[in-house]
Chains A and B, each alone.
Chain A
Protein backbone atom coordinates (compact mmCIF):
# COMPACT_ATOMS: atom_id res chain seq x y z
CA UNK A 1 0.00 0.00 0.00
CA UNK A 2 2.78 2.42 0.92
CA UNK A 3 4.83 3.71 -0.81
CA UNK A 4 2.76 4.41 -3.83
CA UNK A 5 5.07 5.71 -6.48
CA UNK A 6 2.77 5.91 -9.44
CA UNK A 7 0.15 8.59 -9.83
CA UNK A 8 -2.96 7.77 -7.81
CA UNK A 9 -6.07 7.23 -9.88
CA UNK A 10 -8.44 10.14 -9.98
CA UNK A 11 -11.91 9.50 -8.64
CA UNK A 12 -13.43 9.76 -12.11
CA UNK A 13 -11.32 6.85 -13.34
CA UNK A 14 -12.40 4.57 -10.50
CA UNK A 15 -14.64 1.68 -11.27
CA UNK A 16 -15.78 -1.35 -9.35
CA UNK A 17 -16.55 -5.00 -9.95
CA UNK A 18 -19.94 -6.34 -8.94
CA UNK A 19 -20.19 -9.16 -6.42
CA UNK A 20 -23.49 -11.03 -6.16
CA UNK A 21 -25.11 -10.97 -2.72
CA UNK A 22 -26.70 -14.10 -1.34
CA UNK A 23 -27.62 -13.00 2.18
CA UNK A 24 -25.95 -9.74 3.16
CA UNK A 25 -22.89 -7.68 2.20
CA UNK A 26 -20.77 -9.54 4.77
CA UNK A 27 -21.59 -12.78 3.02
CA UNK A 28 -20.51 -11.41 -0.35
CA UNK A 29 -17.20 -10.32 1.20
CA UNK A 30 -16.65 -13.83 2.63
CA UNK A 31 -17.35 -15.42 -0.74
CA UNK A 32 -14.80 -13.07 -2.33
CA UNK A 33 -12.18 -13.97 0.29
CA UNK A 34 -12.79 -17.71 -0.06
CA UNK A 35 -12.19 -17.36 -3.76
CA UNK A 36 -9.00 -15.34 -3.20
CA UNK A 37 -7.56 -17.94 -0.82
CA UNK A 38 -8.69 -20.87 -2.98
CA UNK A 39 -6.99 -19.34 -6.04
CA UNK A 40 -3.83 -18.88 -3.96
CA UNK A 41 -3.81 -15.13 -4.44
CA UNK A 42 -3.76 -14.77 -0.66
CA UNK A 43 -2.36 -17.08 2.00
CA UNK A 44 -4.57 -16.02 4.85
CA UNK A 45 -7.16 -13.50 5.96
CA UNK A 46 -7.75 -11.52 9.13
CA UNK A 47 -11.39 -11.32 10.13
CA UNK A 48 -13.47 -10.84 13.28
CA UNK A 49 -15.05 -13.94 14.77
CA UNK A 50 -17.40 -14.27 17.73
CA UNK A 51 -15.69 -15.35 20.92
CA UNK A 52 -16.96 -18.61 22.46
CA UNK A 53 -19.11 -16.80 25.04
CA UNK A 54 -20.82 -14.98 22.16
CA UNK A 55 -20.69 -11.53 23.71
CA UNK A 56 -17.73 -10.12 21.83
CA UNK A 57 -15.55 -10.43 18.74
CA UNK A 58 -11.87 -11.26 18.32
CA UNK A 59 -9.52 -10.85 15.37
CA UNK A 60 -8.54 -14.21 13.90
CA UNK A 61 -5.75 -14.82 11.43
CA UNK A 62 -7.16 -17.67 9.34
CA UNK A 63 -5.29 -19.94 6.99
CA UNK A 64 -8.04 -22.51 7.06
CA UNK A 65 -10.83 -21.57 4.67
CA UNK A 66 -13.37 -23.60 6.64
CA UNK A 67 -12.89 -21.26 9.63
CA UNK A 68 -14.30 -18.48 7.50
CA UNK A 69 -17.78 -19.98 7.88
CA UNK A 70 -17.87 -18.57 11.41
CA UNK A 71 -16.27 -15.24 10.56
CA UNK A 72 -18.22 -11.98 10.53
CA UNK A 73 -16.48 -9.52 8.20
CA UNK A 74 -18.74 -6.62 9.16
CA UNK A 75 -18.92 -7.02 12.92
CA UNK A 76 -21.31 -5.03 15.07
CA UNK A 77 -18.70 -4.04 17.65
CA UNK A 78 -14.96 -3.37 17.57
CA UNK A 79 -13.51 -4.63 20.86
CA UNK A 80 -9.87 -4.41 19.70
CA UNK A 81 -8.79 -1.83 17.14
CA UNK A 82 -7.83 -3.76 14.01
CA UNK A 83 -4.63 -1.79 13.54
CA UNK A 84 -3.40 -3.39 16.77
CA UNK A 85 -3.99 -6.83 15.23
CA UNK A 86 -2.04 -5.81 12.14
CA UNK A 87 0.76 -4.48 14.30
CA UNK A 88 1.06 -7.72 16.24
CA UNK A 89 1.40 -9.57 12.95
CA UNK A 90 3.81 -7.26 11.09
CA UNK A 91 5.62 -5.13 13.63
CA UNK A 92 8.97 -6.74 12.93
CA UNK A 93 8.81 -7.37 9.20
CA UNK A 94 6.31 -7.73 6.38
CA UNK A 95 6.62 -11.50 6.67
CA UNK A 96 6.19 -13.75 3.66
CA UNK A 97 2.46 -14.40 3.80
CA UNK A 98 0.04 -12.41 1.71
CA UNK A 99 -2.75 -11.54 4.09
CA UNK A 100 -6.04 -9.83 3.34
CA UNK A 101 -7.45 -7.86 6.26
CA UNK A 102 -11.03 -6.61 6.15
CA UNK A 103 -11.53 -3.84 8.66
CA UNK A 104 -13.42 -0.67 9.38
CA UNK A 105 -12.09 2.47 7.68
CA UNK A 106 -10.88 3.91 11.01
CA UNK A 107 -8.93 0.72 11.66
CA UNK A 108 -7.23 0.88 8.29
CA UNK A 109 -6.50 4.58 8.76
CA UNK A 110 -4.87 3.78 12.11
CA UNK A 111 -2.85 1.09 10.33
CA UNK A 112 -1.68 3.67 7.78
CA UNK A 113 -0.48 5.86 10.66
CA UNK A 114 1.30 2.86 12.19
CA UNK A 115 3.00 2.22 8.85
CA UNK A 116 4.34 5.78 9.00
CA UNK A 117 5.43 5.15 12.58
CA UNK A 118 7.28 1.99 11.53
CA UNK A 119 4.99 -0.26 13.57
CA UNK A 120 3.15 -2.00 10.73
CA UNK A 121 4.86 -3.31 7.62
CA UNK A 122 2.10 -3.38 5.06
CA UNK A 123 4.08 -4.65 2.06
CA UNK A 124 2.38 -8.04 2.05
CA UNK A 125 -0.93 -6.93 3.47
CA UNK A 126 -3.97 -6.26 1.35
CA UNK A 127 -6.04 -3.82 3.35
CA UNK A 128 -9.73 -3.86 2.61
CA UNK A 129 -12.45 -1.61 3.99
CA UNK A 130 -16.23 -1.42 3.68
CA UNK A 131 -18.93 1.23 4.05
CA UNK A 132 -19.11 1.45 7.81
CA UNK A 133 -22.41 2.47 9.37
CA UNK A 134 -20.74 2.84 12.79
CA UNK A 135 -19.93 0.43 15.60
CA UNK A 136 -22.02 -0.47 18.61
CA UNK A 137 -20.58 0.79 21.90
CA UNK A 138 -18.67 -2.05 23.49
CA UNK A 139 -20.43 -1.92 26.87
CA UNK A 140 -23.83 -1.96 25.17
CA UNK A 141 -22.77 -4.90 23.03
CA UNK A 142 -21.45 -6.93 25.95
CA UNK A 143 -24.62 -6.23 27.97
CA UNK A 144 -26.98 -7.26 25.18
CA UNK A 145 -25.32 -8.98 22.21
CA UNK A 146 -28.53 -10.07 20.52
CA UNK A 147 -30.28 -6.74 20.79
CA UNK A 148 -27.14 -5.01 19.59
CA UNK A 149 -26.93 -7.26 16.54
CA UNK A 150 -30.49 -6.24 15.66
CA UNK A 151 -29.61 -2.59 16.06
CA UNK A 152 -26.54 -3.08 13.92
CA UNK A 153 -28.36 -4.85 11.10
CA UNK A 154 -30.70 -1.86 10.89
CA UNK A 155 -27.67 0.47 10.87
CA UNK A 156 -26.16 -1.63 8.13
CA UNK A 157 -29.22 -1.17 5.96
CA UNK A 158 -29.57 2.56 6.41
CA UNK A 159 -25.87 3.39 6.72
CA UNK A 160 -26.75 5.56 9.70
CA UNK A 161 -25.56 5.02 13.27
CA UNK A 162 -28.31 4.85 15.91
CA UNK A 163 -28.18 5.60 19.62
CA UNK A 164 -26.33 2.38 20.42
CA UNK A 165 -23.42 3.42 18.18
CA UNK A 166 -20.29 5.07 19.50
CA UNK A 167 -20.68 8.84 19.74
CA UNK A 168 -17.79 9.52 17.32
CA UNK A 169 -19.45 7.34 14.65
CA UNK A 170 -22.30 9.85 14.39
CA UNK A 171 -19.98 12.46 12.98
CA UNK A 172 -17.36 10.35 11.25
CA UNK A 173 -16.81 11.60 7.70
CA UNK A 174 -14.39 8.89 6.70
CA UNK A 175 -16.79 5.97 7.00
CA UNK A 176 -16.14 4.93 3.42
CA UNK A 177 -12.57 4.70 2.29
CA UNK A 178 -11.22 5.08 -1.18
CA UNK A 179 -7.62 4.92 -0.10
CA UNK A 180 -7.38 1.28 0.93
CA UNK A 181 -6.23 -1.49 -1.42
CA UNK A 182 -9.82 -2.69 -1.78
CA UNK A 183 -13.11 -1.19 -0.78
CA UNK A 184 -16.42 -3.03 -0.53
CA UNK A 185 -19.25 -0.60 -1.24
CA UNK A 186 -22.92 -1.40 -0.77
CA UNK A 187 -24.64 1.78 0.39
CA UNK A 188 -26.97 3.29 -2.19
CA UNK A 189 -26.92 0.10 -4.27
CA UNK A 190 -29.61 -2.52 -4.69
CA UNK A 191 -29.62 -5.23 -2.03
CA UNK A 192 -28.46 -7.78 -4.55
CA UNK A 193 -24.99 -6.39 -5.15
CA UNK A 194 -21.79 -5.26 -3.52
CA UNK A 195 -19.12 -3.35 -5.41
CA UNK A 196 -15.49 -4.21 -4.90
CA UNK A 197 -13.42 -1.18 -5.78
CA UNK A 198 -9.64 -1.39 -6.15
CA UNK A 199 -7.72 1.53 -4.65
CA UNK A 200 -4.16 0.50 -5.44
CA UNK A 201 -2.15 -1.68 -7.80
CA UNK A 202 -2.28 -4.46 -5.25
CA UNK A 203 -6.06 -4.32 -5.25
CA UNK A 204 -6.30 -4.18 -9.03
CA UNK A 205 -3.96 -7.17 -9.39
CA UNK A 206 -6.03 -9.21 -6.98
CA UNK A 207 -9.20 -8.47 -8.91
CA UNK A 208 -7.51 -9.29 -12.20
CA UNK A 209 -6.23 -12.56 -10.73
CA UNK A 210 -9.76 -13.50 -9.74
CA UNK A 211 -11.06 -12.66 -13.19
CA UNK A 212 -13.20 -9.81 -11.87
CA UNK A 213 -13.51 -6.89 -14.22
CA UNK A 214 -13.96 -3.51 -12.56
CA UNK A 215 -16.31 -2.14 -15.18
CA UNK A 216 -19.19 -0.79 -13.12
CA UNK A 217 -19.57 2.95 -12.89
CA UNK A 218 -19.56 4.18 -9.28
CA UNK A 219 -22.07 7.00 -9.53
CA UNK A 220 -24.98 5.24 -7.75
CA UNK A 221 -22.79 4.22 -4.87
CA UNK A 222 -21.17 7.63 -4.65
CA UNK A 223 -24.56 9.30 -4.51
CA UNK A 224 -25.48 7.16 -1.51
CA UNK A 225 -22.20 7.95 0.22
CA UNK A 226 -22.37 11.66 -0.50
CA UNK A 227 -25.83 12.10 0.97
CA UNK A 228 -24.71 10.36 4.18
CA UNK A 229 -21.56 12.46 4.23
CA UNK A 230 -23.54 15.68 4.22
CA UNK A 231 -25.46 14.51 7.30
CA UNK A 232 -22.27 13.51 9.06
CA UNK A 233 -20.61 16.83 8.29
CA UNK A 234 -23.49 18.74 9.84
CA UNK A 235 -23.37 16.47 12.88
CA UNK A 236 -19.62 16.96 13.11
CA UNK A 237 -19.88 20.72 13.11
CA UNK A 238 -22.40 20.82 15.92
CA UNK A 239 -20.58 18.12 17.93
CA UNK A 240 -17.32 20.06 17.72
CA UNK A 241 -19.03 23.29 18.73
CA UNK A 242 -20.51 21.55 21.75
CA UNK A 243 -17.23 19.88 22.72
CA UNK A 244 -15.31 23.13 22.31
CA UNK A 245 -17.76 24.88 24.61
CA UNK A 246 -17.55 22.09 27.17
CA UNK A 247 -13.76 22.06 27.23
CA UNK A 248 -13.29 25.83 27.31
CA UNK A 249 -10.58 26.88 29.74
CA UNK A 250 -8.97 25.06 32.59
CA UNK A 251 -12.31 24.79 34.39
CA UNK A 252 -13.83 23.23 31.27
CA UNK A 253 -11.00 20.73 31.09
CA UNK A 254 -11.63 19.86 34.74
CA UNK A 255 -15.37 19.48 34.18
CA UNK A 256 -14.71 16.79 31.57
CA UNK A 257 -11.62 15.03 32.91
CA UNK A 258 -11.64 15.54 36.69
CA UNK A 259 -13.32 12.18 37.33
CA UNK A 260 -10.48 10.34 35.57
CA UNK A 261 -9.36 7.45 37.75
CA UNK A 262 -5.94 7.30 36.12
CA UNK A 263 -6.27 3.76 34.79
CA UNK A 264 -4.75 4.76 31.40
CA UNK A 265 -7.15 2.39 29.63
CA UNK A 266 -7.71 5.04 26.94
CA UNK A 267 -4.02 4.90 26.17
CA UNK A 268 -3.77 1.13 26.08
CA UNK A 269 -6.84 0.84 23.84
CA UNK A 270 -5.47 3.50 21.49
CA UNK A 271 -4.02 2.05 18.28
CA UNK A 272 -1.62 4.98 17.91
CA UNK A 273 -0.13 4.73 21.41
CA UNK A 274 2.25 1.90 20.65
CA UNK A 275 5.11 2.88 22.98
CA UNK A 276 6.10 -0.04 25.13
CA UNK A 277 6.66 2.27 28.04
CA UNK A 278 4.59 5.40 27.92
CA UNK A 279 6.26 8.43 29.46
CA UNK A 280 3.21 8.89 31.68
CA UNK A 281 3.62 5.39 33.11
CA UNK A 282 7.32 5.84 33.70
CA UNK A 283 9.11 6.56 36.94
CA UNK A 284 10.24 9.92 35.49
CA UNK A 285 6.65 11.11 35.34
CA UNK A 286 6.03 10.42 39.04
CA UNK A 287 6.43 13.50 41.15
CA UNK A 288 8.71 13.64 44.10
CA UNK A 289 6.64 13.33 47.31
CA UNK A 290 8.33 16.46 48.69
CA UNK A 291 7.21 18.40 45.63
CA UNK A 292 3.64 17.27 46.23
CA UNK A 293 3.80 18.39 49.86
CA UNK A 294 5.13 21.79 48.77
CA UNK A 295 2.45 22.08 46.10
CA UNK A 296 -0.27 21.20 48.61
CA UNK A 297 1.09 23.80 51.04
CA UNK A 298 0.99 26.49 48.34
CA UNK A 299 -2.44 25.63 47.04
CA UNK A 300 -4.06 24.58 50.28
CA UNK A 301 -4.42 21.03 48.99
CA UNK A 302 -3.78 18.83 46.00
CA UNK A 303 -5.47 15.81 44.45
CA UNK A 304 -3.62 12.50 44.54
CA UNK A 305 -2.30 10.67 42.61
CA UNK A 306 -0.89 13.60 40.72
CA UNK A 307 -1.05 14.73 37.11
CA UNK A 308 -4.30 13.27 35.86
CA UNK A 309 -5.08 16.36 33.77
CA UNK A 310 -1.51 16.46 32.51
CA UNK A 311 -1.84 12.90 31.25
CA UNK A 312 -4.69 13.88 28.94
CA UNK A 313 -3.28 17.21 27.73
CA UNK A 314 0.11 15.51 27.29
CA UNK A 315 -1.37 12.65 25.32
CA UNK A 316 -3.14 15.17 23.08
CA UNK A 317 0.23 16.69 22.18
CA UNK A 318 1.85 13.29 21.75
CA UNK A 319 -0.67 11.49 19.56
CA UNK A 320 -3.33 13.89 18.28
CA UNK A 321 -1.54 14.34 14.95
CA UNK A 322 -2.15 10.66 14.24
CA UNK A 323 -5.57 10.37 15.92
CA UNK A 324 -8.08 8.76 13.56
CA UNK A 325 -11.09 9.30 15.85
CA UNK A 326 -11.92 5.62 16.16
CA UNK A 327 -13.45 6.09 19.60
CA UNK A 328 -11.73 3.14 21.30
CA UNK A 329 -10.66 5.41 24.17
CA UNK A 330 -14.26 6.22 25.10
CA UNK A 331 -15.21 2.54 24.91
CA UNK A 332 -12.35 1.71 27.25
CA UNK A 333 -13.12 4.36 29.85
CA UNK A 334 -14.63 2.82 33.00
CA UNK A 335 -15.99 6.17 34.21
CA UNK A 336 -17.58 7.18 30.89
CA UNK A 337 -15.47 10.24 30.14
CA UNK A 338 -16.09 11.29 26.51
CA UNK A 339 -12.37 10.96 25.76
CA UNK A 340 -12.78 10.42 22.03
CA UNK A 341 -14.99 13.48 21.63
CA UNK A 342 -12.32 15.68 23.18
CA UNK A 343 -9.41 14.05 21.35
CA UNK A 344 -11.18 14.06 18.01
CA UNK A 345 -11.94 17.76 18.43
CA UNK A 346 -8.36 18.65 19.37
CA UNK A 347 -6.90 16.37 16.68
CA UNK A 348 -9.00 18.05 14.02
CA UNK A 349 -7.33 21.33 14.94
CA UNK A 350 -3.74 20.19 15.44
CA UNK A 351 -3.84 18.25 12.15
CA UNK A 352 -5.12 21.30 10.34
CA UNK A 353 -2.15 23.32 11.61
CA UNK A 354 0.04 21.12 9.41
CA UNK A 355 -2.55 20.55 6.68
CA UNK A 356 -2.34 16.90 7.60
CA UNK A 357 -5.08 14.31 7.77
CA UNK A 358 -4.30 11.21 9.81
CA UNK A 359 -4.82 7.98 7.91
CA UNK A 360 -4.61 9.44 4.43
CA UNK A 361 -2.43 7.28 2.31
CA UNK A 362 -0.95 10.00 0.12
CA UNK A 363 2.73 9.53 0.88
CA UNK A 364 2.69 12.44 3.32
CA UNK A 365 5.19 11.78 6.10
CA UNK A 366 4.25 12.50 9.71
CA UNK A 367 4.33 16.23 10.45
CA UNK A 368 6.94 15.77 13.16
CA UNK A 369 9.25 13.93 10.79
CA UNK A 370 9.64 16.94 8.52
CA UNK A 371 9.78 20.71 8.53
CA UNK A 372 10.02 23.61 6.16
CA UNK A 373 12.61 26.27 6.72
CA UNK A 374 10.03 28.96 6.45
CA UNK A 375 6.66 28.05 7.95
CA UNK A 376 4.22 28.65 10.78
CA UNK A 377 4.42 32.43 10.53
CA UNK A 378 3.79 34.28 13.74
CA UNK A 379 4.36 31.33 16.01
CA UNK A 380 7.61 32.74 17.40
CA UNK A 381 6.68 36.40 17.20
CA UNK A 382 7.41 37.19 20.74
CA UNK A 383 6.63 40.73 21.64
CA UNK A 384 5.65 43.67 19.52
CA UNK A 385 8.63 45.20 17.69
CA UNK A 386 10.90 42.54 19.13
CA UNK A 387 12.08 41.27 15.77
CA UNK A 388 12.77 44.69 14.26
CA UNK A 389 16.12 45.38 15.90
CA UNK A 390 19.26 43.43 16.55
CA UNK A 391 21.14 41.24 14.10
CA UNK A 392 19.04 39.12 11.85
CA UNK A 393 20.13 35.55 11.45
CA UNK A 394 17.35 34.44 9.14
Chain B
Protein backbone atom coordinates (compact mmCIF):
# COMPACT_ATOMS: atom_id res chain seq x y z
CA UNK B 1 0.00 0.00 0.00
CA UNK B 2 1.30 3.41 -0.92
CA UNK B 3 1.82 5.62 2.05
CA UNK B 4 -0.01 8.92 1.69
CA UNK B 5 2.28 11.91 1.38
CA UNK B 6 2.17 14.12 4.44
CA UNK B 7 3.95 17.39 3.76
CA UNK B 8 6.20 19.05 6.30
CA UNK B 9 5.70 22.77 6.52
CA UNK B 10 8.26 24.56 8.64
CA UNK B 11 6.44 27.58 10.04
CA UNK B 12 8.16 30.59 11.56
CA UNK B 13 5.47 32.32 13.60
CA UNK B 14 5.88 35.63 15.34
CA UNK B 15 5.36 35.45 19.07
CA UNK B 16 2.96 38.36 19.28
CA UNK B 17 0.54 37.59 16.46
CA UNK B 18 0.73 34.42 14.43
CA UNK B 19 1.95 32.08 17.17
CA UNK B 20 -0.80 33.37 19.47
CA UNK B 21 -3.22 32.97 16.57
CA UNK B 22 -2.12 29.35 16.28
CA UNK B 23 -2.68 28.95 20.01
CA UNK B 24 -6.15 30.37 19.64
CA UNK B 25 -6.90 27.93 16.83
CA UNK B 26 -5.90 25.16 19.23
CA UNK B 27 -7.93 26.33 22.21
CA UNK B 28 -10.92 26.87 19.92
CA UNK B 29 -10.47 23.25 18.80
CA UNK B 30 -10.22 24.17 15.15
CA UNK B 31 -8.87 21.38 12.97
CA UNK B 32 -5.69 21.95 11.05
CA UNK B 33 -3.24 19.41 9.65
CA UNK B 34 -0.21 18.07 11.47
CA UNK B 35 1.95 19.18 8.56
CA UNK B 36 2.51 22.55 10.25
CA UNK B 37 5.69 22.50 12.34
CA UNK B 38 5.62 25.73 14.34
CA UNK B 39 8.77 27.56 15.39
CA UNK B 40 8.26 30.62 17.54
CA UNK B 41 10.30 33.69 16.65
CA UNK B 42 10.18 37.03 18.41
CA UNK B 43 9.33 38.85 15.19
CA UNK B 44 8.82 37.90 11.55
CA UNK B 45 11.86 40.05 10.78
CA UNK B 46 13.95 37.64 12.87
CA UNK B 47 13.67 35.22 9.96
CA UNK B 48 16.88 35.57 7.99
CA UNK B 49 16.68 34.47 4.35
CA UNK B 50 19.06 31.69 5.31
CA UNK B 51 16.39 30.14 7.59
CA UNK B 52 14.10 29.72 4.59
CA UNK B 53 16.84 28.29 2.40
CA UNK B 54 18.00 25.95 5.13
CA UNK B 55 14.47 24.66 5.69
CA UNK B 56 13.94 24.25 1.96
CA UNK B 57 17.22 22.43 1.34
CA UNK B 58 16.73 20.24 4.41
CA UNK B 59 13.63 18.87 2.74
CA UNK B 60 10.74 20.95 4.10
CA UNK B 61 7.95 20.75 1.54
CA UNK B 62 6.80 24.22 2.46
CA UNK B 63 8.04 27.12 4.55
CA UNK B 64 5.60 29.56 6.12
CA UNK B 65 6.31 32.89 7.77
CA UNK B 66 3.51 34.27 9.91
CA UNK B 67 3.68 37.86 11.11
CA UNK B 68 1.48 40.65 12.41
CA UNK B 69 -0.61 42.62 9.93
CA UNK B 70 1.16 45.68 8.50
CA UNK B 71 0.87 48.47 11.04
CA UNK B 72 0.36 46.03 13.93
CA UNK B 73 3.95 44.92 14.51
CA UNK B 74 4.87 44.72 18.18
CA UNK B 75 8.15 46.37 17.22
CA UNK B 76 6.35 48.81 14.93
CA UNK B 77 8.13 48.10 11.65
CA UNK B 78 9.51 44.54 11.86
CA UNK B 79 6.99 43.02 9.47
CA UNK B 80 7.71 45.63 6.79
CA UNK B 81 11.34 44.60 6.90
CA UNK B 82 10.33 40.94 6.89
CA UNK B 83 8.32 41.56 3.74
CA UNK B 84 11.36 43.05 1.97
CA UNK B 85 13.58 40.18 3.00
CA UNK B 86 10.97 37.72 1.89
CA UNK B 87 10.84 39.46 -1.49
CA UNK B 88 14.59 38.92 -1.91
CA UNK B 89 14.31 35.20 -1.23
CA UNK B 90 11.38 34.98 -3.63
CA UNK B 91 13.48 36.81 -6.23
CA UNK B 92 16.40 34.43 -5.77
CA UNK B 93 14.16 31.35 -5.88
CA UNK B 94 12.33 32.57 -8.97
CA UNK B 95 15.51 33.37 -10.86
CA UNK B 96 17.04 30.01 -9.96
CA UNK B 97 13.85 28.25 -11.01
CA UNK B 98 13.41 26.76 -7.55
CA UNK B 99 9.78 26.37 -6.54
CA UNK B 100 8.95 29.66 -4.88
CA UNK B 101 5.40 28.38 -4.24
CA UNK B 102 6.95 26.46 -1.40
CA UNK B 103 7.58 29.73 0.44
CA UNK B 104 4.70 31.70 1.93
CA UNK B 105 4.30 34.86 3.91
CA UNK B 106 1.03 35.51 5.70
CA UNK B 107 -0.27 38.09 8.12
CA UNK B 108 -2.20 36.41 10.95
CA UNK B 109 -3.11 38.39 14.05
CA UNK B 110 -3.45 37.01 17.59
CA UNK B 111 -7.23 37.07 17.29
CA UNK B 112 -7.33 35.24 13.98
CA UNK B 113 -7.45 31.60 15.12
CA UNK B 114 -9.87 30.71 12.31
CA UNK B 115 -7.66 32.37 9.76
CA UNK B 116 -4.65 30.42 11.01
CA UNK B 117 -6.54 27.14 10.70
CA UNK B 118 -7.72 28.04 7.21
CA UNK B 119 -4.28 29.11 6.07
CA UNK B 120 -2.80 25.89 7.44
CA UNK B 121 -5.43 23.77 5.67
CA UNK B 122 -5.29 25.53 2.34
CA UNK B 123 -1.51 25.79 2.26
CA UNK B 124 -1.18 22.09 3.07
CA UNK B 125 -3.53 21.29 0.19
CA UNK B 126 -1.51 23.49 -2.10
CA UNK B 127 1.73 21.75 -1.11
CA UNK B 128 0.15 18.31 -1.48
CA UNK B 129 -0.77 19.24 -5.02
CA UNK B 130 2.86 20.30 -5.62
CA UNK B 131 4.18 17.03 -4.23
CA UNK B 132 7.33 16.25 -2.32
CA UNK B 133 10.22 18.71 -2.24
CA UNK B 134 12.76 17.38 -4.76
CA UNK B 135 15.65 18.31 -2.45
CA UNK B 136 14.40 15.74 0.05
CA UNK B 137 15.98 12.92 -1.93
CA UNK B 138 19.16 14.67 -3.02
CA UNK B 139 22.41 13.42 -1.57
CA UNK B 140 24.33 16.43 -2.93
CA UNK B 141 23.58 19.48 -0.86
Contact = CB atoms under 8 A, between A and B. Distances in A.
Contacts of B95: 244, 247, 345-346, 349-350
Contacts of B68: 393
B141 interface: yes
Contact of A390 (B85, B92, B115): B115
Interface residues of B, number: 53
Contact of B90 (A367, A371, A373, A379): A379
Contacts of A394: 69-71
A272 to B, nearest CB: 14
B46 interface: no
A382 B119 contact: yes
Contacts, number: 155
Interface stretch (A26-34, A54-62, A119-127, A306-314): A306-314
Contacts of B28: none
Contacts of B89: 317
A23 interface: no
Give the dominant DSSP class at B's interface: helix
Contacts of B72: 393
B141 A302 contact: yes
Given A350-B91, A379-B86, A380-B106, A386 B141 contact: no
Interface in B51-92: 53-54, 57-59, 68-72, 77, 80-81, 83-92
B49 A303 contact: no
Given A249-B98, A383-B119, A373 B53 contact: no
A109 B127 CA distance: 42
Given A317-B50, A373-B70, A303 B139 contact: yes
A97 interface: no
A393 B107 contact: yes
Contacts of B104: 382
A320 B94 CA distance: 14
A209 interface: no
Interface in A233-251: 244, 247-251
Contact of A250 (B48, B118, B134): B134
Contacts of A376: 83-84, 87
Given A314-B53, A346-B95, A379 B126 contact: no
Contacts of A384: 122
B140 interface: yes
* Chain A interface category by residue count: 35 or more
A358 B40 CA distance: 34
Interface string A102-135: 0000000000000000000000000000000000
A350 B89 CA distance: 9
A303 B138 CA distance: 9
A368 B90 contact: no
A230 B111 CA distance: 56
B84 A250 contact: no
Contacts of B88: 317, 320-321, 350, 353, 368
A95 interface: no
Given A379-B87, A394-B71, A299 B54 contact: no
Interface stretch (A38-46, A174-182, A252-260, A330-338): A252-260
A392 B107 CA distance: 10
Contacts of A375: 83
Contact of B111 (A248, A301, A391): A391
A154 interface: no
**B90, B95, B104, B126, most chain A CB atoms within 10 A:** B95
Given A317-B49, A373-B80, A309 B92 contact: no
B60 to A, nearest CB: 13
Contacts of A317: 49-50, 53, 85, 88-89, 92
A346 B92 contact: yes
Contact of B109 (A251, A303, A380, A393): A393
B54 A310 contact: yes
A254 B140 contact: yes
Contacts of B49: 314, 317-318
A316 interface: yes
Contacts of A258: 140
Interface of B: 48-50, 53-54, 57-59, 68-72, 77, 80-81, 83-92, 94-98, 104-107, 109, 111-112, 114-115, 118-119, 122-123, 126, 134-141
Q: Which 3 A-B pairs have the closest CB atoms?
A: A393-B69, A317-B49, A383-B122
Interface of A: 244, 247-254, 258, 279, 295, 298-303, 306-310, 313-314, 316-318, 320-321, 345-346, 349-350, 353-354, 367-368, 371-376, 379-380, 382-384, 386, 389-394
